[in-house]
Structure formats: structure tokens, C-alpha cells
Amino acid sequence: MKPISLDEHRQRRRSLLRLMAPGAVAVVPGALSVRRNGDVDYPFRQDSDFWYLTGFGESGATLVLRRGKDGDASDAAILFCQQRNAKDELYNGERLGPERAAEALGLDSAHPASALDDRLPPLVGAASAIHCALGEDAAFDQRLSGWLAKAQNQRLRPSGEIRGLKPLLHELRLFKSSAEVELMRRAAAITVEGHLQAQRRCAPGGREADLEAELLYAFLRGGARSSAYPSIVASGANACVLHYTANAAPLKAGDLVLIDAGCEVGHYAADLTRTFPVSGRFSPAQAALYEIVLEAQRQAIAACQPGAAFEAADEAALKVMVAGLERLGIDPSPTANDTAGEDDDANGDAQRPALCPHRTSHWLGLDVHDCSAAQPGDEPRALAPGMALTVEPGIYIPPQHEAAAAKWRGIGVRIEDDVLITADGPEVLTEGAPKDIAEIERVMAASRG
Ligand code: GLY
Ligand code: MN
Ligand code: MN
């Protein structure tokens, strides 16, 4: 798969610089390796903002952008990165090193990461504004205040206001280029294959983890290096735990299984959910709830038109789900706020019906919950070509939900696709994964011979 070109990374830095005032500086730290246990680290994943601007995959680096006072030609992109080290490279592979990084990445200059505390004080001290993600990482905040204190001592009288970085950057990341869309298409195609494989191999007597293994196998065989987030393989009532990842229960005939899993290609995520019967056939109660969620999803996808509000998909889905639940004699919101939880993350909202507790869409890209700083605020956000988002309505009837008849309890259904907004309307990147009941049953029956 073709990676994003040096030129595209350069264009992105230029676009960010143009959003900054003359003399402003942006400080973008890359990710650090994180200890898992003993002397073992978690697999390293570069910070998405840093990756977007550099395409540089090593840990412990920092990008500094300075907007010149005399137009684009006086802008500067400066990298701080780990020095080369024979012993580290023997164990962990080749490093680029500051000597080679500027040319290899198309930057103006590169320095050892250890030079940051000497080089940053004069830069931030003279800046008209400092763009950074203040308040997200205590170690970074402390370091920045150290640079500012040092600048004071150097009589630089730093006067630059500290401003957000993410609102600018995420506004750029919201619109995918054709090269980004290609990577997302690939991630979607591999993910679809993983879900199909899990459907084919699903059988009573197996375990949720067996299906997780099918997903991972397909992801890695397809060319991805990892999942974009921990796979959710939730059978039976486990599906009512929205981010269930234990994946340890046996697969029982008569249950549904909800799989929410996606791979990452070139740092771009896919995010796909399908819900299907362990034994290959939906029961009438499961089918009734499933058809409501499917219709909600169809109408929500149809609402993803250029010019429509981001919220239109959610409104369309909720309308179908609330009406559908009422038709089945299930009150959708008898205990609203009891089950919705207090933790309103990007996907949650305490004001919603308790049985449809999460929102229908989030942006998708380098992060599975992408562009969090560009999330619609009070103003309705209009969809436009190049944006990518998920459409993922769900109905979850917890086992203890006595307001619903026994046959509905413990059923959780979510159907999620990845949608690219085009001038002609929504394009579903994950449409290869079956979601009609008849089609799912056909796929599962075919694999049983
Ligand atoms: N996989 C998490 C989500 O669908 O938002
Ligand atoms: Mn998902
Ligand atoms: Mn999602």
C-alpha cells in the first residue's frame, strides 16, 4: 500500500502554518514507548497528530513549527529525534537520527531530542503565540513551563499567548485526501474480510476468543499490522456492554454475537460492527430487533448527504429506533439516566433513551474516534465531501431490564459501517460485509456445507 508522500506531509505542515499568526510556534510531541510489564513495552503506535504532520514513526520525537514573520518562505519545520545508538539499533532496528532526518522527511532542520530543553526556550520565548495541547499530559505541561521560565531567565520576556493546537489540526484532518481515502478503503476491505471469516467460522461450542483470532488472522494476512482498537466479540448479553473486550465466554446456540472490530492500515482505521446468530439463524425476537436497527442504519446512512448536519444521521436513526421499539411494546426510555452513565464520552449522551445509549456517528481516520477537537459543538456541523464517519445505531436490552418482556432481555444489536461523504452522497466503505438477515444466514449456511 502506498504510504502518504513526503510532499503531502509537507503540504499539511504548510496548511497548519497558514492557520497560525506570524511569529507563532506550534509544538507537537510524538508518542513515547509505554511500559507494559517488566521490561516489555506495549507495541509502539505513533501519535496521530505527529504522524499526520511528519510520517515519522519513531518514539520520543517532537516537531516544532514556526510561522515566519515575512510570509511562507520564513516558516520553519524543526524536528527533535532520538540519536543513533549502535546497541539500541542492534536490539530494536535502525533509527533515522538527526543527521539524516531533515532530508529524509523534507524538514528544515533536525536536532537530537536531548537538545529540546536548550533550543525551545528562545523559540517559545520569542513566539507571538504558542500552539500546543496544554492540559493533556502533565509531563509536557511541566516541560513547557520550564522552557518559559528559562526564557524569562534569558530576559526574553515571553509574551505569546498559549493557544490550542488540536482545533486547527483536526480541522485539517477532517478532510481526507485521495491518498488517505485509499488507505481507508484498504483498511475497510481487510476488515470486511475479517468479519466474513468470523461469520463463516462461528459455531456453538466455540469461544468468543476463537472469533477474535479469526479477525486478527485476516487483518495480519491482509496486510494490516494491528487492529485499530481492541476487538469486541460479545455474545449473548455481553453485547449490552458497549466496549466489552474480555472475549472469554463460550458461544451458545440461540445467542447473537456482536463483533465490533477493525484493522489499521498506514495508521488509518476501519471500524465495523456486525451482529449475527451463533447458530446461523436469527430467532423471531432477535430478527425483530435487528430489523429495527438495520432500518435505522439505512435511514441514517441516507441522511449523510453533503450539506446535511452531522447530527442528521443520529436524528434519523433515533426516530426509527424509538418508533420500532414502541411498535414491539418496549418502552425505549423507562429508566433514562439510570443506565446511561455519567461519563459522557464522544459516543455517549445521558439524555438519550436508555436502550439506545450512544450516538450514531463519530469521525473516522487516523484515530478510530477521529478529530475529537473538531467534533460539532453548539453549531450544527455540515457534512462535506472528504469527511469520513461511522454510522452505528444500536439497541441494547440489558438482562436486568424488567420493563421489557423476558424474550427481549439480553439482546444487544449494533450495525456499524464506515461512510465517506462524496459530492454524490454517502459512499459506504465497508459495504462488502453482509447485513441483511437473509444474506448473513446464507453466508453462515454456506460455510457449514
Ligand atoms: N469501536 C468503537 C466504536 O464503534 O466507536
Ligand atoms: Mn466500532
Ligand atoms: Mn465506531
Shared domain for 142 and 201, answered yes or no, is: no
What average pLDDT does the segment 179-192 reach?
98
Does residue 53 sit within a domain? yes
**Of 369, 418, 419, best ligand 1 pocket probe by most atoms within 8 Å of the beta carbon:** 369
What is the per-residue pLDDT across 369-403, written as a single tens digit (0 to 9) for each? Answer: 999 898 556 677 999 999 999 999 999 999 999 99
Shared domain for 443 and 361, answered yes or no, is: yes
Picking from 172, 188, 218, the residue at the C-terminal end of a domain is 172
261 Cα nearest atom in ligand 1: 1
Residues 6+ apart with CB under 8 A from 71: none
Tell me the sheet residues that pair with 227.
Answer: 263
Shared domain for 352 and 237, answered yes or no, is: yes
**pLDDT at residue 348, rounded to an integer:** 52
Q: Which residues surround ligand 3, an ion (CB under 5 A)?
A: 271, 390
341 pLDDT more than 50: no
Question: What would the DSSP string read from start to end of 337-359?
Answer: TTSS-S---TTB-TTS-TTS-B-
Residue 243 appears among annotated catalytic residues: yes
At 200, the amino acid letter reads R
Whole-angstrom CA distances from 293 to 134, 329, 421 are 40, 16, 22
Shared domain for 428 and 291, answered yes or no, is: yes
Q: Which ligand is nearest to the CA of 272?
A: 2
Does residue 218 sit within a domain? yes
Four-CA torsion 227, 229, 230, 233, nearest 10 degrees: -90
Instruction: For residue 146, give the nearest of 112, 117, 170, 174 by alpha carbon.
Output: 117
HEC string for 288-321: HHHHHHHHHHHHHHHCCCCCCECCHHHHHHHHHH
168 pLDDT more than 80: yes
Residue 8 appears among annotated catalytic residues: no
338 pLDDT more than 50: no
Q: What is the Å distance from ligand 2's center to 54 Cα?
A: 27
Question: pLDDT band at 71, cuts 50/70/90?
Answer: confident
Question: pLDDT band at 344, cuts 50/70/90?
Answer: very low
273 Cα nearest atom in ligand 1: 4
What average pLDDT does the segment 226-251 reach?
98
Q: What is the Å distance from ligand 3's center to 418 Cα?
A: 8
Residues 6+ apart with CB under 8 A from 13: 53, 65, 77
Residue 75 appears among annotated catalytic residues: no
Shared domain for 207 and 70, answered yes or no, is: no
> Residue of the nearest CA to atom 4 in ligand 1?
271
Residue 401 appears among annotated catalytic residues: no
Long-range contacts of 176-179 (CB under 8 A, 24+ apart): 176/365, 176/386, 176/387, 176/388, 176/420, 177/4, 177/8, 177/386, 179/2, 179/4, 179/5, 179/8
What is the per-residue pLDDT across 186-210, written as a single tens digit (0 to 9) for each? Answer: 999 999 999 999 999 999 999 999 9
**pLDDT at residue 380, rounded to an integer:** 78
Q: What is the Å distance from ligand 1's center to 68 Cα?
A: 40
What average pLDDT does the segment 423-445 reach?
98
Question: What is the rounded CA–CA span in Å between residue 429 and residue 356?
Answer: 24
H-type alpha helices, 55-96 = 86-92
What is the per-residue pLDDT across 45-69, written as a single tens digit (0 to 9) for each? Answer: 999 999 999 999 999 999 999 999 8
233 pLDDT more than 70: yes
**pLDDT at residue 339, rounded to an integer:** 45
Residue 375: which region, alpha, beta or left (left: phi > 0; alpha: psi -120 to 50)?
beta
Does residue 185 sit within a domain? yes
CATH number of the CATH domain containing 421: 3.90.230.10
Q: Is residue 140 packed enough to be buried (19+ CB in 10 Å), middle (13-18) or exposed (0-12)?
A: middle
Q: Beta 394-397 vs 388-391: how paired, if at all?
A: unpaired
Q: Beta 411-414 vs 40-41: how paired, if at all?
A: unpaired
Picking from 142, 172, 202, the residue at the C-terminal end of a domain is 172
CA neighbours closer than 13 Å in the CB half-sphere of residue 408: 20
Shared domain for 46 and 122, answered yes or no, is: yes
Q: Residues enclosing ligand 1, CB less than 6 A?
A: 229, 260, 271, 347, 362, 368, 392, 416
Shared domain for 224 and 354, answered yes or no, is: yes
Distance from CA of residue 344 to its chain's centroid? Answer: 17
Catalytic residue among 193, 208, 260, 441: 260
What average pLDDT does the segment 59-85 reach?
94
Per the CB < 8 A criterion, the answer to whether 449 and 431 are in contact is: no
- 245 or 380, greater pLDDT: 245
**pLDDT at residue 378, rounded to an integer:** 65
Using only the alpha carbons of the chain, give its radius of gyration: 24
Question: What is the rounded CA–CA span in Å between residue 202 and residue 211?
Answer: 7
Q: What is the Å distance from ligand 1's center to 17 Cα?
A: 32
Does residue 232 sit within a domain? yes
Residue 416 appears among annotated catalytic residues: yes
Shared domain for 27 and 141, answered yes or no, is: yes
Domain of residue 284, residue span: 174-447
Percent of the chain with pLDDT over 90: 89
CA neighbours closer than 13 Å in the CB half-sphere of residue 434: 15
Q: What is the Å distance from ligand 3's center to 361 Cα?
A: 7
Q: Which ligand is nearest to the CA of 243?
A: 1
Question: pLDDT band at 269, cuts 50/70/90?
Answer: very high
What average pLDDT does the segment 257-264 reach?
98
414 Cα nearest atom in ligand 1: 4
Catalytic residue among 12, 267, 362, 401: 362
**pLDDT at residue 415, rounded to an integer:** 98
Q: For the ranges 222-231, 314-323, 370-379, which has the lowest average pLDDT?
A: 370-379
Distance from CA of residue 198 to its chain's centroid? Answer: 22
Does residue 1 sit within a domain? no
173 pLDDT more than 80: yes
Q: What is the Å distance from ligand 2's center to 297 Cα?
A: 14
Q: Give phi and psi for 362, each to the nearest 5.
A: -145, 160
Residues 6+ apart with CB under 8 A from 146: 117
262 Cα nearest atom in ligand 1: 1
Question: What is the rounded CA–CA span in Å between residue 51 and residue 250?
Answer: 39
Shared domain for 338 and 405, answered yes or no, is: yes
**pLDDT at residue 374, rounded to an integer:** 85
Residues 6+ apart with CB under 8 A from 359: 314, 346, 347, 348, 349, 352
C-alpha cell at position 12: 499539511
Question: What is the rounded CA–CA span in Å between residue 365 and residue 372?
Answer: 11
340 pLDDT more than 50: no
The length of the chain in residues reads 449
- The total domain count for the chain is 2
Residue 414 appears among annotated catalytic residues: yes
**Of 271, 272, 413, best ligand 1 pocket probe by most atoms within 8 Å of the beta carbon:** 271
Catalytic residue among 84, 298, 369, 409: 369
Picking from 172, 187, 213, the residue at the C-terminal end of a domain is 172
**Of 259, 260, 314, best ligand 1 pocket probe by most atoms within 8 Å of the beta carbon:** 260
Residue 363 is given by DSSP the state B
Does residue 336 sit within a domain? yes
Question: What is the rounded CA–CA span in Å between residue 190 and residue 195?
Answer: 9
What average pLDDT does the segment 276-299 reach?
98
Residue 260 appears among annotated catalytic residues: yes
Residue 195 appears among annotated catalytic residues: no
Shared domain for 380 and 252, answered yes or no, is: yes
pTM for the full predicted model = 0.95
What is the per-residue pLDDT across 92-136, written as a single tens digit (0 to 9) for each? Answer: 999 999 999 999 999 999 999 999 999 999 999 999 999 999 999
CATH number of the CATH domain containing 105: 3.40.350.10
Does residue 121 sit within a domain? yes
Residue 291 appears among annotated catalytic residues: no
What average pLDDT does the segment 394-423 reach?
97
347 pLDDT more than 90: no
Does residue 13 sit within a domain? yes
Shared domain for 211 and 97, answered yes or no, is: no
**pLDDT at residue 334, rounded to an integer:** 52
Shared domain for 253 and 374, answered yes or no, is: yes
Task: Compute the mean pLDDT over every residue in the chain, rounded to the nearest whole number.
Answer: 94
Catalytic residue among 49, 208, 416, 417: 416
